[in-house]
Amino acid sequence: MNTKQNLILVFIGVAVISLIVYFSIPKQVEIPHYHAGFLVYIDGQKQDYSDTQYMYLDSCTVLDKQKNHTMETPDKVHLHNDVGDVAHVHDDTSTWAMLFKNLEVNFPPNEPLVGYKNGEKVDNLINTPIKPYDSVIFIIGSEDGIDKTQYVTKAHIQDVEGKSSVCNR
């Protein structure tokens, strides 16, 4: 073999080894984790979801389940750290309806449910995927006396975000 053929063989060898190494390194799993604010009024009463019973307690499990693709609905969107007005989202298909299902909150079935975002009524907001820094209001039943200009602020969402515990692994 002449030098040129040797060079080609070396080149092919390096290329093949590079490909094998590239595909054998486990890829970093992209784990979504973002936050959105929400307020709920039922018959004019602002709801409080800050009790421990509404909290998702094991944040490290979420990361493992995401890596292994075994996340279930309660893992995807929930509350942490006794904060009842900021949702933690770990899967970008999560909707507000999924959050309330996870909280085991039942709204009165025969009353109208209206969603507001950025001061505007949004049709079917409850079944809409939650976006980062969304801030919404859900009103079930009477809207009388409810201040619809008061949303969870972005500053509060970011404050919660800064404090949220994330496993370092």
CB of 64 to Zn ion, least distance (A): 12
Q: How far is the CB of 12 from Zn ion (least distance, A)?
A: 48
Q: Which residues pair with 77 in a beta bridge?
A: 89
Compare residues 139 and 160 and give the one whose CB is closer to Zn ion. 160
Residue 29 CA to residue 16 CA, distance in Å, equals 25
**Alpha carbon distance 36, 130 (integer Å):** 7
Cβ at position 124, least distance to Zn ion in Å: 25
Looking at the Cβ atoms of 58 and 111, the one nearer to Zn ion is: 58
| Spatial CB neighbours of 82, under 8 Å, sequence gap ≥ 6 | 50, 51, 52, 55
Q: How far apart are CA 94 and CA 73, in angstroms?
A: 8
Given the rule CB under 5 A, which residues bind Zn ion? 59, 88, 164
CB of 125 to Zn ion, least distance (A): 21
When the beta carbons of 78 and 116 are compared against Zn ion, the nearer one is: 78
When the beta carbons of 59 and 102 are compared against Zn ion, the nearer one is 59
